[in-house]
Chain A
Amino acid sequence: MKINSVKIISLLFFILSAFYLYTAHQIQVFTFDENAPFNAKTFPIYLGYAGMFFSGLKLVLPDQKPIEVDSKHLEFKKTFLLVLTMIIYGATILKVGFFLSTSLFLVFSYYFLGERRWKYILIFSFPFVAIFMYLLHGLLAVYLRDPLLKYIGIMG
C-alpha cells in the first residue's frame, strides 16, 4: 500500500469516526429509553460505523486516480495571512465594532493579496463599508452592533 496524502486524510477520517463512535456510545439517554428500538445514540452509532467502513475501504483499496498536489506551487503564505486576518477580524468584530474591523480587514486582505494601488484600497474599504452599513442598518433596518460608532454618537 502506497502512502499518499489521500490515504493520510482517510486515516484521519477513520480515527475521527472511531472517536465519534466512542462519543456516541457515551451519550446519556433516559433510563426508559435504554432498550428502546431507537434512542438518541442509535443514529450516531450507525454513522460512526459507516464512517469507519468507508474510510477503512479507502485506506485498504488501491487508489484509482492517485492525486498528488505539488506543494511547491501552492501559495501557503498568502493563504495563511488571509486566514490569520480573518481570525483577527472574527475576534475583533464584536469588541471594536463592524465598521472599523471590517474596513481594516479589507485593507489588509487587499494588501496581502498583492494590491498596491492605495487609492482603490481606500475606496473599497472605509467608504464601501460605510455605504454597506447604511444600506443594511439605515435602509433595511438590520441591526449592526458597533460599540465604537455608538460611543462616537454616529450610530444609535
Chain B
Amino acid sequence: MIEGILIGLKTALSFQNLLMVTTGCFAGTIIGMLPGLGPMTAIALMIPITYGFDPATGLILMAGVYYGAVFGGSTSSILINAPGVPGTVATSFDGYPMAQQGKAGKALAIAAYSSFAGGTIAAIFLLIAAPSLSKVSLSFRSPDYFGLMILGLTAVAAFSSKGNFLKAMMMCVFGLMLASIGQDTLSDIPRFTFNTMNLSDGISFVLVVMATFAMSEALTIIIKGNDPTKAAKQISLTDLGSIKVTKEETKQMAKTIPRSSILGFIVGVLPGAGATIASFLAYGMERNFVSNTEKEKFGKGSVQGLSAPETANNAACSGAFVPLLTLGIPGSGTTAVMLGALLGFGIQPGPRLYETNPEIFWSVIMSMYIGMVVLLILNLPLIPYIARILAVPRTFLIPMILFFSVTGIYLMSFNNFDIFLMIGIAVLATILRLYDFPMPPLILAFVLGGLMEENLRRSLLISDGSWSFLWSRPLTICIMISILLIIIWQIYSGLKSKNK
C-alpha cells in the first residue's frame, strides 16, 4: 500500500497534474456556483478537454471539478440562498441566515474548513477501504455484478425520484435502450441503427451527458424564465465580512466534523444515496446531538448546523468513489459520468484496476486530498472575486453553455448528425425535466448498459439459459433481496403518502 501511495503521490504531484487539479477546482467552483448547474454539468463540459490527456490526468481534472462544484454550490447556498447543487441545500439552512447577519465571510470559511476536514477524513477512509474492498470484490462473479448493477439502478431511481419511482425506472429503461443502439459487442450485428452508418458505433456517451445535463439544464432555465443570477444582484458580493473563525467556533466544529465525516462516507458508499442524503442526515443527526440551547440556534445561523452538512456532503463525494474504483459500478450520476469518461480512455475500473493501473487508482485518491488543499488555500481568499460570476447575466451565460456543449461534440466527431442528435435529445430531456422525470438514472443506465448486457450474457450462458443464477449464490441472493426491499419500500412509501 505504501508503494501505491508513493506512486499516487508522484503522479498527482507532477506539475501537469497539480495544474489540472487546480484548474479543475477553480472551474468546478465557478460552474457549481451557478444555481441549476451541478457537478454533472461541470464534469460533462470537461470531458471533451480530458480526451487530450492521459487517463490519470483526465480523471484528476474531473475529480477536481467534482469537489470544486460541490464547494461552489455551498457558496451560492450561503450567499444567495440558491443552492447550486442539491447536496448543498442543507448548507443554506444555517449558512444563509449567517450571511444575512453580515457574517457571510465567516460562513464561507466554516463551510470551507468543514469541507476540507470532511473530504480529508473520507479520503483516508477511502485509502484504507478501497484496496481491501478491491480484494474482496475479486470473488464477485458475473451474476453478482449483474445483480449489483440492477441494485445500483434501483437505488439511484429510488433516491433521485423524489417519490416518482416509476418515472425514474422509465428513465433507467430509456437509458438502457439508448445504450443498446449500435453494433452488438460480441457478434457485431447492427441493432436499432435503421441502416444509418452514423448510428453503427452507437451513441456517444459525451453526447448523451451533454444533451441531458449541460444543454437541457440551459434550455430548462430559458423555458421556465428563471434567472439564476437574479438573487446575486440584490447583495454585495465584494463585502463579505471577516473570514476569521473564533476558538469557540473551532471547538464546536471539532465535535461535529468527525461524526459527520463517518456518516457522510458511509452514505456516499451506498449506491444511489450520495451527497444530498448525507447532508440532510448529518444535519438531522447533529441537531439531535447538540444541547437544547444550541438546538434553538439551528436554522438561524448555527455553526454546527452549517458545519455538519458541509462535512458530510464532501465525505460522501469521496465515499462515492469506493464502488466506482473497487467494483467498477458507479453509485451516483456524477460517478457514472466519470465511469463513462474512464471507459472512453479504454480503462475498465474494478477490482483489477488496483493491480493493472495502480498509478490511476492511487493518483485519484491522492489528488482528492490535494484538491481539498487547493480548495482551501486558493478558493477561500478568492471567493469575493469568484462570487462575481453569480452576477453574470443569463443572456451571456446560457449561450456560452450551449456553445461549449456543441463545440465539445463537434471536436469529437466533426459530424452534423451528432450535433442534431444532441439537440434532439436535449429538447426531449427538457420536456421530461419539466414533468419531473429525473435524468441521473438515465445516465447511470446508459453507462451501465453495455456492462449489464455482458454480465447477463455470461450468467445466462453459464446457467444454460436458466435464471436460477439469481438465487444460486448467497451473495447474489443478498443483492436480490436488497433490490426487492428497495422496491417494497418504494411501494409502501407511495401508498403511505397517498393515504395521507
Contacts and interface: CB of A to CB of B under 8 A. Distances in A.
A109 B399 contact: yes
A140 B394 CA distance: 29
Contacts of A30: 187, 189
Interface residues of A, number: 67
Contacts of A110: 395-396, 399
B416 A124 contact: no
Contacts of B393: 115
Contacts of A142: 52, 411
A20 interface: yes
Interface string B182-200: 0010110101100000000
B403 A69 contact: no
A75 to B, nearest CB: 5
Interface of B: 52, 163-164, 166-167, 169-170, 173-174, 176-177, 180, 184, 186-187, 189, 191-192, 219, 222-225, 393-396, 398-400, 402-403, 406-407, 410-411, 414, 416, 419-420, 423, 427, 430-432, 434-437, 452-453, 456-457, 460-461, 463-465, 494, 497-498
B251 to A, nearest CB: 43
Contacts of A28: 189
A93 B223 contact: no
Nearest to A8: B435
A113 B222 contact: yes
B416 A109 contact: no
A137 B329 CA distance: 36
B189 A29 contact: yes
* B interface, over-half SS: helix
Contacts of A89: 406, 419
Nearest to A56: B166
B368 to A, nearest CB: 26
Contacts of A61: 166
A122 interface: no
B431 to A, nearest CB: 8
What is the predominant secondary structure among interface residues of chain A facing chain B? Answer: helix
A149 B452 CA distance: 46
Contact of A5 (B167, B189, B435): B435
A65 B177 contact: no
Given A5-B435, A17-B173, A74-B224, A54 B52 contact: no
B189 A90 contact: no
B434 to A, nearest CB: 5
Contacts of A120: 396
A131 interface: no
Contact of A115 (B187, B395, B498): B395
9 contacts: A9-B437, A29-B187, A40-B187, A40-B189, A41-B191, A75-B225, A78-B222, A83-B219, A90-B416
Given A38-B457, A42-B460, A57 B166 contact: yes
A124 B396 CA distance: 8
Given A74-B224, A89-B406, A94-B414, 7 more contacts: A28-B189, A29-B187, A40-B184, A54-B166, A79-B430, A90-B420, A98-B410
A115 B423 contact: no
Given A9-B435, A64-B164, A93-B416, A113 B52 contact: no
A50 interface: yes
Contacts of A79: 219, 222-223, 430
Given A69-B435, A74-B225, A144-B411, A51 B191 contact: no
A115 B52 contact: no
A38 B465 CA distance: 7
